[in-house]
Amino acid sequence: MREIDKECARLGTSTSLLMENAGRVVAEVTRDYLGDIEKQQILCLIGAGNNGGDGLVAARYLREYGANVTVYLCSPRPAEDTNLQLVKDSDISCIEASSDKNLKKLDEILATTACIIDGLLGTGRMRPLEGVFQKTLEKVNAAKAARHLALIAIDLPSGMDADTGAIDPACPTADVTVTLAFPKPGLFNFPGAEHVGNIKIVDIGIAASLADAVKTELITGTWAGLTLPRRPLNANKGTFGRVLVVAGSTNYIGAAYLACGGALRAGAGWVTLATTRSVQPVIAAKLAEATYLPLPEVKRGIDAAEAADIVQRECANYNVLLAGCGIGKDSSVTEFIRSLLFKPGLPPLVLDADALNILAEIPDWPKKLPKNTVLTPHPGEMSRLCGLTIDEIQADRLGTAYKFAAAWRKTIVLKGAFSVIATADGRCRVSPFANPGLATAGTGDVLAGIIAGLAAQGLDLFDAATLGVYLHGAAGDRIRMEIGDTGMLASDLLPVLPMTIKQLKTAAKRG
């Protein structure tokens, strides 16, 4: 954003125009959020920089909408500040914190305020809050804790790092964050993500082309709708691809069902489950639509060498191979996965769960796997694969995904709230979804199946992984709207996926 701001200036787009646009749209979002804004008490907290300038413009528009507005200046503004002068000309009360002993006037205003506009700090380098900024935000936080009080943050809540999502202890929790021009990475990383509320990405007149060089993107419904595989009227099951799934074991029968179900519900034309002969009849009783490739067993477990040969011979008939969901980690399974994944001639791979855990124990595994591989680790599995702690991974999810996708030359889906998808050439996409309802066993199996199903229909692995993450998250949000985020089951996702796809297609057509 700093570089884009410089480029705007070079191209002749004035800061004052961008500030006017930003303040106006913040006021519009505030009006929409509050509903009847007439005579509502609104407090605008204003800092020294452009963020404060945006807040001054918002104050003026809110006054025009009929609100009773007070501006609280936590920092001196430049003597030639046109926006401050316009605020004063609009009969808006302006209070300087420097003349407010013990911030008593702030206390009085907070007692009757319905909404706060946070225009203190923007996307500049985060530093520890102190002095009047710290005291002001502590009072705001206390007031919000005591009663319902809306807070609208401009660009991001003050005290939050725009890059990492790190926060100062005084950082307030917004109800709405109006982020200007482009989303900021820190809004989608914890702990900051817990402080942003509903995120509104708004246009302030910056050309989208100025961000063309940026390789990090937020996944949108518009992109998802336009990326969905086509479904021609003269199709047959071969048109939509064939997925071979290596999954399931005595202890994790459901994982195979969920993975195959995900691939089928994502639109794959043909799904075959390769699983042991003892497990196959149990799954077949529930999963009638899949075909089966029974794998031989011996007394100690799967017959690793023969099973690997059987799967490899079948791979020529499939567009993608998904492996790992619920296969377990006993010695025979480990030998089977080692024998299978490093064989030549495999189709594109989607590897999940136990396949990842087995890989983590194999030296130089990235060099042995084909490049056309998607890895779908949750933070614990990622920790085992890369050697970082879970805390280190979670503190820098974007950086971790970028680094290891490039180092391993693979596509990585780092699962969790705001899942991150990164590829070897430096591109990265972030999911807009954080849903605690999806934090339950089996949802990752469904996701792996969706990704495999989309890849089988012809999407490249990066797009398949990205679209899979979006569909998975959107379906989860749809279920949460209906039943809440407690008690959601992985299998609940399966019937909702086609409805989610239909909704995206309809929106894309309306375009």
pTM value?
0.95
**Based on the domain organization, do 348 and 497 belong to the same domain?**
yes
Identify whether 231 is part of a domain: no
Q: What is the pLDDT of residue 498?
A: 98
Q: What is the pLDDT of residue 18?
A: 95
**Based on the domain organization, do 147 and 250 belong to the same domain?**
no
Domain boundary among 181, 213, 245: 213
**Based on the domain organization, do 18 and 142 belong to the same domain?**
yes
**Based on the domain organization, do 20 and 54 belong to the same domain?**
yes
- The rounded distance, in Å, linking the Cα atoms of 271 and 253 is 17
Q: Which of 444, 446, 442, 415 is nearest to 431 (CA)?
A: 415
DSSP conformational letter for 126: P
Q: What is the pLDDT of residue 124?
A: 78
CATH number at residue 368: 3.40.1190.20
Q: CA 394 → CA 262, 292, 333, distances in Å?
A: 27, 38, 30
Q: What is the pLDDT of residue 127?
A: 83
**Based on the domain organization, do 267 and 170 belong to the same domain?**
no
* Residues shown for the chain: 511
**Based on the domain organization, do 488 and 384 belong to the same domain?**
yes
Identify whether 25 is part of a domain: yes
* 373, 355 Cβ separation under 8 angstroms: no
Identify whether 290 is part of a domain: yes
Identify whether 35 is part of a domain: yes
Identify whether 288 is part of a domain: yes
- The rounded distance, in Å, linking the Cα atoms of 181 and 13 is 14
Q: What is the pLDDT of residue 244?
A: 98
Residue-by-residue DSSP string for 256-301? HHHHHHHHHHTT-SEEEEEEETTTHHHHHTT--SSEEEEE-EETTE
**Based on the domain organization, do 172 and 256 belong to the same domain?**
no
**Based on the domain organization, do 432 and 502 belong to the same domain?**
yes
CATH number at residue 30: 3.40.50.10260
Domain boundary among 161, 179, 213: 213
Each residue's pLDDT expressed in tens, for the chain with a length of 511 residues: 889 988 998 999 888 999 999 999 999 999 999 998 998 999 999 999 999 999 999 999 999 999 999 999 999 998 889 999 999 999 899 999 999 999 999 999 999 999 999 999 988 777 889 999 999 999 999 999 999 999 999 999 999 999 999 999 999 999 999 999 999 999 999 999 999 999 999 999 999 999 999 999 999 999 999 999 999 999 999 999 999 999 999 999 999 999 999 999 999 999 999 999 999 999 999 999 999 999 999 887 899 999 999 999 999 999 999 999 999 989 999 999 999 999 889 999 999 999 999 999 999 999 999 999 999 999 999 999 999 999 999 999 999 999 999 999 999 999 999 999 999 999 999 999 999 999 999 999 999 999 999 999 999 999 999 999 999 999 999 999 999 999 999 999 999 999 999 999 999 988 7
**Based on the domain organization, do 163 and 264 belong to the same domain?**
no
Measured between its terminal Cα atoms, the distance across the chain in Å is 28
CB-based contacts of 420: which residues, under 8 Å, 6+ apart? 397, 398, 401, 412, 413, 414, 428, 429, 430, 431
Identify whether 76 is part of a domain: yes
User: Could you tell me the strand order of the sheet in which 150-154 lies?
Assistant: 93-96, 68-73, 41-46, 115-119, 150-154, 176-180, 198-202
Residue type, 173: T
**Based on the domain organization, do 386 and 451 belong to the same domain?**
yes
Q: What is the pLDDT of residue 78?
A: 87
Please state the φ and ψ torsions of residue 66, each to the nearest 5 degrees.
105, 5
Q: Which of 52, 30, 54 is nearest to 41 (CA)?
A: 30
**Based on the domain organization, do 339 and 485 belong to the same domain?**
yes
Structural domain range at position 84: 2-213
Domain boundary among 182, 213, 244: 213
Task: State the number of CA atoms in the 13 A half-sphere of 446 facing the CB.
Answer: 23
CB-based contacts of 448: which residues, under 8 Å, 6+ apart? 259, 262, 322, 324, 325, 350, 352, 353, 376
Identify whether 299 is part of a domain: yes
Identify whether 496 is part of a domain: yes
Token readout for 365 is 């595994």
**Based on the domain organization, do 33 and 128 belong to the same domain?**
yes
- Provide the domain count of the chain: 2
Helices (H) and strands (E) in the chain, counts: 19, 19
Strands 428-430 and 216-218, by their bridges, are parallel
Token pair 């995120």: residue:
199
